[in-house]
Every structure is written in C-alpha cells, then in structure tokens.
Amino acid sequence: MTKADIIENVYERVGGFSKKDAAQIVEAVFDIIKVTLEEGEKIKLSGFGNFVVRDKKSRIGRNPQTGDEITISARRVLTFKPSQVLKNALNS
C-alpha cells in the first residue's frame, strides 16, 4: 500500500471532494505529522499506535566487519509503538 492507495480510499469512502483535493488533504495530514515529530512531540493515534521521539545517549559500538570500537553519537530517533487494539486486530 502506498499513499496513492490511501488517497483512493479517502476519495471513495469519505467523498465530497475531487481526487486532487483528496491527494492534497492526505499530503497535509502526513505533513502535519512529520512536522510535529520533527519538533520532538509524539503523536498518539488511539486505536492505531503512538509515534514517539526518543533521545538516545551515545554509546560504544563496534564495526562488525573489523571489530573496531567506535562511538555511536547521541541521537534522536523515532519509534512506533502499536496500540493493543491494532495488535489484537492483527492476531484475531
């Protein structure tokens, strides 16, 4: 499934606007989500899951090829935690 399929669904199921409008709306929804996450704020979508921005400390890692020790710098990462509802839906 790609964004185009989602746009198609929104156009067919919600209706009331052109396909071009549907595309713009879906694009806007994902843009708002991205900007919010970029600002470090989490997104909680009940029934689906939470997108959480986490700060990771720097740590010592290894180059698995050479075995050399390297420092993995501190970073901010995005994780997705599926909701129990979604997990149940996938396993029913």
Partner 1 sequence: MTKSDLIEKVAAQLSLPKGKAEQIINCIFDSMEEALKAGHRIEIRGLGSFEIRRYKAYEGRNPRTGDPVGVNPKRLPFFKVGKELKERVNAGATDAPAPAASADREPEKGDTSRPAAAVDPTGKKPRNESKA
For residue 37, the minimal CB distance to partner 1 (Å) is: 6
Q: Please report, as residue ranges, which positions from 70 to 89 form the binding site for partner 1 (by CB under 8 A).
A: 70, 72-80, 82, 86-87, 89
CA–CA distance, 82 with 62 (Å, rounded to integer)? 30
State the sign of the Cα–Cα–Cα–Cα dihedral 10, 14, 15, 21: negative
For residue 21, the minimal CB distance to partner 1 (Å) is: 9
For residue 28, the minimal CB distance to partner 1 (Å) is: 6
Q: Which residue is associated with the tokens 């009331």? A: 16
Judge whether 66 and 84 are in contact, CB under 8 Å: no
Of residues 58, 57, 6, the one with CA closest to residue 33: 6
- Residues engaged in binding partner 1 (CB under 8 A): 1-3, 5-6, 9-10, 13-14, 16, 24-26, 28-30, 32-34, 36-49, 51-57, 61, 63, 70, 72-80, 82, 86-87, 89-91
